[in-house]
Chain A
Amino acid sequence: MNILAAESEVLAPLATGWFMDNAWLIPVVPTVAFALIILIGKRLPMKGSELGVFSMVISLVLSAGTAYQWIQRVNGTSEGQFVSPVVRSWSWWQSGGFDFGIGQHVDGLSVVVLFVVAFISTLVQVYSLEYLRGDRRYTHFFAALTLFSGGMLAMVLADNMILFLLGWEIMGLCSFILIGHWWEEDANSRAALKAFFTLRTGDMGLLVGISMLYFAANDWTQANLGLSGFSIRGISAWALSGEPNSSVITIAAVALFIASIGKSGQFPLHTWLPDAMAGPTPVSSLLHSSTMVVAGVFLVARLYPVFFVGLDILGSGGNLIVIIGGITIVISAALAFVQDDIKRVLAYSTVSQLGYMMLGLGAGAWLPAVFHIFTHAFFKACLFLGAGSISHSASHHSFDMKKDMGGLRKVMPITFATWIVSTLALCGVFPFSGFFSKDEIIDNVGHNGYNTFMIIGLVGAFMTAAYMTRATYLTFFGEPRGASAGHAAHSHDPHGASAPHDSHAAHDPHGATGPHESGLLITVPLIILSVLALGSGFLNATPFGESWERMKLWVEPRASVVIADSYPGGPGESLKLASGAVPAEESHSKSVCGSATPEKGVCYAPQLNHAPFKWSKALVSLLIVLAGMAISWVLSILVFTERDPRVAGLTSRIKVLGLGHKFLVDKYYLDHLYENVVVRSVAYPISQAAYWFNQNVLDGVLHTVARFAKRLSAWVYKNIDQRVVDTTVNNSAVLTKSVGTAAQPTQSGRVSQYGALLFSAAAIAALVLVIINT
């Protein structure tokens, strides 16, 4: 096992355990389940969903065990000691000097995201049991969902970039499959395609980044650590070693960030995420709110040293990541104001929150950003599942707030309660979890010198509160409208549930009873998630002091210099690292990591700053949030319910406001830009050229070949077949005939001739014999 070489007495050996060593099982189990569901799912009593749920539960248990053992491991170390991750790798394929391996890399970040993914996947699968009951492709849905979980878990646990890339791509594929689950409607398949292509554009950056990093880092990592240039630890150490060429690492960081932009829906590649709401709600809540879209954030967090050094995070007042993050926060929050579709509001909210995470990472607030991943997953998933619950049981599969919802708080109490809890968490109200994470981000952003962006963060918080209040009001308050009022019309729902009349027939006491609370399979996950939305903040409750900062203790990689004194053993063995922090540098004092090259040993993580908590700052942000909520509440009542003539219809009366509204509704014409300008200008001439090539070049070749073959065969027939072959045949017949004719006289039938021949032959034979024998 990987007990360290206990050279230095100061340091305690790191504890290990079965779960951590076998964490590679976590992604394997869902993948196997995926294969099983595809093969035998349709014949199982619950149509394969039981395999999916079961495998996710196993993964969840394994993740929980891994998390627990990681915590033990951290607790067993002394202050300032680098908690080395549990790494195991196996060589998968070697070719031409490249060595591709697969393996696991368990550290705090992995454990956090593993747990989140496994947990939310399990809940979503349970939720889907009820939500998609009777759906036409029930089995395949669960298969894709399970595969997605397997892929993301593999990505999270990857110890090298190739496996990371593999998991990334599997997620993209499953996203495509799941968004287009009801692909019979054109809008859904278009949305799926849009998601896929936008992701692909970003993935170019990932490939470029990985290759650049490999070629740049491989020599150093092989020499110093015995790892290949794909290994994540190797790259991290290399980035902080002062070795890399600054432009190389900057370009690599930018390339990788482009991939993050695509995957996490940052400006300008955010357009796919709202359209992805065309998929079923469980998909939206799993993929597009809590797990897949944080993959981009995860990438930045995982390879943080690369970004830290490449984009000079603590050194400058603005860099690419914070700029993009900041822009994303604002524009998506603005867009959330003009949506009628509840899922789209939540989608833009997700984009906005991802912007927060990016903002945090870009400003050096690593831990708050990661913590925000953790808390955001819970309350956003809860919000999405709540929206699903509403559509499932109240509004007849419609997600349109203005048309089919309203006043639902009376008939759906559980959904309402969980929604409110999650909304408050999202807005960042104390003591809900969002407060602890989002405010920490904003605080640290300011602390690290990015003041402008801190202001942007606060503005974003204001807008978040405002649009969520609007959405809440439209959904749960006021008078019931449309389907919520019990009207059974479900004429036009843009979410593709119109075709499955099969499912509708299955549970249609709706029409009779009107909107009602959803069943247990839906509400129980909601409740669990809302409890977590409330309580998960306390895992890192900075306001309450150091001892409450559990997450920081367990998750944040310590920036201490590590002296590696042995290299990896054979395949499957964990790296034996001696963690010899120079004893003088302990806990909160700064280590050289990130700012200078360590003299001996390597750094795996840069030294970051943590803003000390002050209630005064927190109060400011709380006030801003509450102000946003209040203003929005008042406006909502005025506009939507009372139709106050001073306020309602403002946008249609004042031209400027109307234009602004239209601009927002049309999503800044970005879609128009992408599809009509960019795509059209590239694709159209290419398709013309391809068509020309096909007709003239390819077909031309074929025709020429055919003509040639025809002429050749005619020639062959005339010359070879007729002349040569037939002549041979004829001549052989003639020869035979002539031989026969020549030999015929011997068969004359005359006895005397026979006798003559006989004796002549005898005479000659006798002569020959005599001559030979003398």
Chain B
Amino acid sequence: MRVIVDKSHSRRKKARFSRLLRKPYNKIALNVLTVVIATLSAVFIWDGQDLLGYLLAALASVGLSLLLWREGELKSLPAKLPAQGQDLILSKALDRRALGRIKSYETPYDVWKGIEGSWREKFFTFRYGIDRKFIEDNVSKNSADSVSLWSKALELARLENQESITIAAIYVSLLASIDGYEQYLARLHLEPNDLIVGIDWQRHVELVGEKFEKTHSFGGMARDWSAGYTPLLNRLGQNISDQIEFQGGLLFRDNDAHQSAVNQMIKIFSQAPRPNVVLVGPQGVGKDTTVRSFAYKLLVDEGLSHSIEYNQVISISAPAILSQVSDKQSVETFMQQLLNEISQSKNTILYFENAHQFFEEGTGTVNLTSVLYPVLQSSNIKTIFTMTNDNWEKMSVEHQDVTNLLNKIVVQPADKATTFRIMEDQILLIENQQKVLFKYQALQEAYRLSSRYMHGEEFPGKAISLLEAAVNHAEGNKVVTAQSVQATVEQTQGVKVSTAGGKERSKLLNLEEEIHKHMINQDRAVNVVSDALRRARSGVNNPNKPIGTFMFLGPTGVGKTELAKAIGRVFFGGEDRLVRVDMNNFVQASDVTRLLASTVENSSGLIAQITKQPYSVVLFDEIEKAHPDVVNVFLQLLDEGVLRDSKNNTVSFRDAIIITTSNAGAHIIREKIEAGVAVEEFEKDFLDQLIESNQFRPEFLNRFDEMVVFRPLTKPELLQVVDLLMASVNRNLARQKVQVALSEDARHWLVENGYDARLGARPLRRMIQRSVENIVAKKLLEDSFMPGSTLQLTAAELEASGAKG
């Protein structure tokens, strides 16, 4: 394919002249001067100064001709792309605006200078955060590279079904011509395809602007003269058709899912014996948008049946009705009046949003089945209902007679490409209302994070909700970025999704050290857990699994639970981030139901706690005690990071670290250690033995990231545990402004008397309580221990406390 630059082509000259005439100041000047000169010419001719008057009239005529030419031919200058294999003649194929701007086609750099500063170039610069300097410094200044630039631009125009090579296509092609542009885009968290999507997005933004320049009649002044008055409905309902008419049309592009539902609605209301529709789909799927799309079609589509042409779609809600009347009898009478009004109006389609509110008693809901059923049966008025799948199922059971009368249309969730198109459309509205600007990366992040964290809603609704909320986290210059979206998710979901920085980064790099401030030894366990947390915060873990899944094995009192607590404290920000489930309470098969009880059923259960704070350490203590059916529940949790609660809602554990502890085989560990065998030497055999013993099923154990054997603590380690426990005592005493210190013999005394081979270090805490804390308490009450002083305790004093019992 040859690229031909025909600078003398008339279309190019017209495009350049058009640009000159359309520059804002020139445009105003031409309009004003033409009018002023024409007026002056009339004045002079009237005044008898014919020569001057007619010469001015001649000048005004030139202005008029230019005006008419500008608004006629020069406004569009349609382009024509070459057929496959034909030469590319730029003067024919380029969009009018591109042709008008680009002076030289010699090198890609010249082309860049031509489009730089145009609105279409700024669109990419600001939406995607692409630095102009990157293009300026790197785009080729070699004329030999021009052919590939134009070939790529033509390919993009064809790919995006454009009628010409637009500035957007040229921009993307210019960027793609730069060596290393993919790496540059990667730094901006973009892929080449994201920019290609931008070509269509930009075209849409332009079309929205053009659409609103045109005026629509939407049926004209006499449209509703044959329709009855609806004063009651006007007071209570929201006229969706009026809203669409007021804003001049719809701002969003049609998509296949909605279009199919809208076509079905038109068919049903035109032909079906029962003029009603129920749109069923999960929350956020776009049921309301579908209704709006339908209302718009009724206003603008030609060739519709007269029975629905220009019909008004008016929505009502149960709370609106309940705000007018309170008791059941009055509500029914009121509703009957409303329905009579609608029936009389002849051009109203009544839209019951969240229709279940009209079929059940409760707060903000009212059961109007007895009023609505006869209306549906008689097909007297046209109705639209929207419901979630759950509510539809419930209705189908409780009000089968009603659901049998309804024409059901299922609205499916949008796929990724459609969700992006809808987000691109919706942010124009949000930007207009909130005076902010969204970066494309914010849209990407909204899609990714809503997919991961917003399980109660479907696409595209959940992504849009997140973008709306992210406006509150817009950066100083009112720009909503990916970070704004991350901050929103962190605030609303209680998870960490932004990149670790500053203090947190340093904490992560020294995590083992931080954890060891709270527990002694068990280096391997501390290391594997720290590694998992680092992987999660740096984003290299599998996002479809929990942060880490671990089984800690070992005797009681060796630090298994303490490690879980330490992680909660050090990494997750507090011990309240530890969700602890004692598996002793789940020994029956029927306990599965209790474990999976939904938030509504048990507000302090596992599901409720993880829903409230998904970013947690979840500790399943003594897993060997749980019933095998309960253990089976964990297979999905460990594998996919999700559980389904009793209401079949998906609950995510993907931001949690899962720790299970078990005392299984504790005696073997103790025996081996007492025999002087190091953990590393017997760990593998021990785990094999554990599998063979059938205490746990192999598929269960295989699902853990790591199984770690905790060994009993040695005496020097126990002395360190005493120090840790004493530090804790002193933290509590800080409020009294006193401190307590132990002599060396006192530390040894505590280890000798507080350590139990069967119970590990756990009795140490009780011993400190009974000895040290009791002594301190008495001294404080006797006023013999003044604020600011440190109490030194010896072994003899501890012995004298009687703590040994």
Chains A and B form a bound pair = no
Q: Which residues of A contact B (CB under 8 A)?
A: none
Q: Which residues of B contact A (CB under 8 A)?
A: none
